[in-house]
Amino acid sequence: MWELCVGAFIIICITHWVYRWRNPSCNGKLPPGSMGLPLLGESLQFFTPNTSSDIPPFIKKRMKRYGPIFKTNLVGRPVVVSTDPDFNYFIFQQEGQVFQSWYPETFTEIFGKQNVGSLHGFMYKYLKNMVLNLFGPESLKKMLSEVENTACRSLQQWSCQDSVELKEATARMIFDLTAKKLISYDSNKASENLRENFVAFIQGLISFPLDVPGTAYHKCLQGRKKAMRMLKKMLQERRAMPRKQQTDFFDYVVEELKKEGTILTEAIALDLMFVLLFASFETTSLAITYAIKLLSDNPLVLKQLQEEHKAILEQREDPNSGITWKEYKSMTFTFQFINETVRLANIVPGIFRKAMKEISFKGYTIPAGWAVMVCPPAVHLNPKKYRDPLAFNPWRWEGVELSGATKNFMAFGGGMRFCVGTDFTKVATYQRRKYC
């Protein structure tokens, strides 16, 4: 008899647990949605690859069923997904007061627990200012000719080859440039290939977080470990033999580490270096590759770009001189093309934040501690804002001034975490289109 009582008790406990999983407690009304399977949530559906240029199927299906704001559960974490422009804008504007940057534990394992995306407050602002010394507009003005020369050399080399795998070649070009600026790395002289470790890392970046030998996620973690070992060795060598003049970002880091009372640690510096190397070449090379494809498919756009650049060349006293910052900033149609490219590319599928306290928005309650995921693709492909949203149309940006993120355009993030590498991405993309 007691066995039946124990069995019944276990069944009741499991049933109650499943019920609580599917119906989380809340002081108000939660957004509609499903929490999926216990422990797993809807992780399997979320990590299904999206092979189209449209809104990811996971998001699109739930938007139709639940509306622009819905709840789900990813890798055991309750998440509110927002495709609502007003809510997205509110999230970005309230960072540090209502929301803070947050990413699932699997992401922090990949990018490091001390990565810049996981830090807050003064520490984040401190690291942001460090990065602006390298990728900010003032530094890019000095770097412009170097980017142009790198693009010229690469294109000359490719012209002598029978065929070029564009994404790989572009990634290699940008990695060599940024690795030189960051750590004076020269792939032709280095004893180990740093970029190979990043390739292994990238292949498992968006995969189900199962750390078992043979899985993409495991290979991703192994790629990170190898890259971090190389970076740590380089930093230790630089600290042991510091250079008299600052020639790269590592020199700047070494000087910061030497300061009395510094808040910078070696672990934070290495995670920052890892993220910068990854972000600067992978996302930029994807955008450039997509831009070239769009140009090849749209000859009228290519023609207008060429006309704009030709007009600039004709106004120069010396046609062979390099591009100036003034010329770069005067390229009206070029920036329209960039805006449309990144709108359609949607390289970042989701931006995560965490609610620091309970909030209400449009009748829904988001409990304190819940994660919130802003979905840029759903915003950029919204037919209410963009007519025929999947069509490539740079002219739709004519007369539109963008100085940062807006409710309907967030290709480079938003709020206080607006991407500091925005201008670097635009400069690199421009240099590749210039010679198409």
Cα of 334 vs its chain's centroid, Å: 22
**Full DSSP string of 138-178:** HHHHHHHHHHHHHHHHHHHHHHTSS---HHHHHHHHHHHHH
Cβ(350)–Cβ(58) below 8 Å: no
| H or E element in which residue 268 lies | helix 266-278
Nearest in space to 205 (alpha carbons), one of 347, 402, 401: 347
Give φ, ψ of 121 to 5 degrees: 55, -135
Contact 72, 36 (CB under 8 A): yes
Q: Is 419 annotated as a binding residue?
A: yes
Q: How many CA atoms lie within 13 A of 364 on its CB side?
A: 19
Quote the CA–CA distance of 46 and 77 in Å, as a whole number: 13
- Which phi and psi angles does 78 have, rounded to 5°? -70, 130
Task: Say which residues have a Cβ less than 8 Å from residue 24's Cβ, sequence separation at least 6.
Answer: 30, 35, 71, 78, 367
Calculate the CA 89 to chain-centre distance: 18
Q: Provide the pairing of β-strand 69-74 with 99-101.
A: unpaired
Backbone angles phi, psi at 366, to 5 degrees: -110, 110
Question: In sequence order, what DSSP letters do the residues of 43-112 get, joined into one string?
Answer: HHHHTS---SSSS-HHHHHHHHHH-SEEEEEETTEEEEEE--HHHHHHHHHTBTTTEEE---HHHHHHH-
Strand 359-361 and strand 351-355: the pairing is unpaired
Cα(379)–Cα(408) distance, integer angstroms: 6
- Identity of the amino acid at 17: W
Put residue 422 in one of left, alpha, beta given phi > 0 → left and psi -120 to 50 → alpha. Answer: alpha
The Cβ of residue 187 has, within 10 Å, a number of other Cβ atoms equal to: 15
Binding residues for heme: 419
